[in-house]
């Protein structure tokens, strides 16, 4: 049996009544630290993941990759010349429209992400500016 003492490698087993109470300023700094981490690290990551999901949902709802994958498949699998022509033609016409919709929505969300990042400094600048201008 391996008995690696992992449980107790945190050697300084301090007693409960020996803890220090920090100053309110320190707590305020911790709060600001947490807030900034949340606003500038956690939430942007969340927004990027949401953006990725948004692209997946749009892709699915607009049938983009499905049609691209089956671009050369005839219309309703009707394997004759007309079927092939109609199939390819309809996809050629439809896909640019769908891609444009996808790009517009993606760009809108990206803009929102920028707005998110700029909101706290803009608010502070707006507030301070009124005192100096």
**Interaction site with other proteins (CB under 8 A):** 1-8, 10, 12-17, 19-22, 24, 27-28, 30-31, 34-35, 38-39, 42, 46, 49-50, 52-54, 56-57, 60-64, 66-67, 70, 73, 75-79, 87, 90-91, 94, 119-120, 123-124, 126-127, 129-131
- Asked if residue 91 lies in contact with residue 76, where contact means CB atoms within 8 angstroms, the answer is no
Residues 6+ apart with CB under 8 A from 51: 106, 109, 110, 113
Q: Mention every residue, 6+ apart, whose C-beta is less than 8 A from residue 99.
A: 64
Q: How many CA atoms lie within 13 A of 35 on its CB side?
A: 7
Name the minimum Å distance from CB 82 to other proteins. 13
Nearer to other proteins, 12 or 81 (CB): 12
We find the least distance from the C-beta atom of residue 100 to other proteins, in angstroms, to be 15
């Amino acid at each position: 049996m391996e008995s690696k003492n992992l449980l107790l490698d945190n050697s300084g087993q301090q007693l409960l009544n020996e803890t220090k109470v920090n100053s309110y300023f320190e707590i305020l700094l911790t709060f600001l630290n947490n807030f900034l981490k949340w606003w500038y690290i956690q939430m942007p990551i969340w927004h990027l993941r949401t953006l990725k999901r948004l692209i997946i949902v749009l892709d699915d709802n607009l049938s983009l990759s499905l049609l691209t994958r089956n671009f050369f498949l005839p219309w309703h699998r009707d394997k004759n010349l007309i079927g092939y022509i109609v199939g390819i033609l309809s996809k050629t016409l439809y896909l640019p429209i769908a891609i444009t919709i996808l790009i517009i929505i993606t760009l809108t969300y990206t803009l929102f992400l920028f707005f998110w990042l700029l909101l706290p400094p803009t608010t502070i600048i707006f507030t301070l500016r009124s005192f100096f201008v």
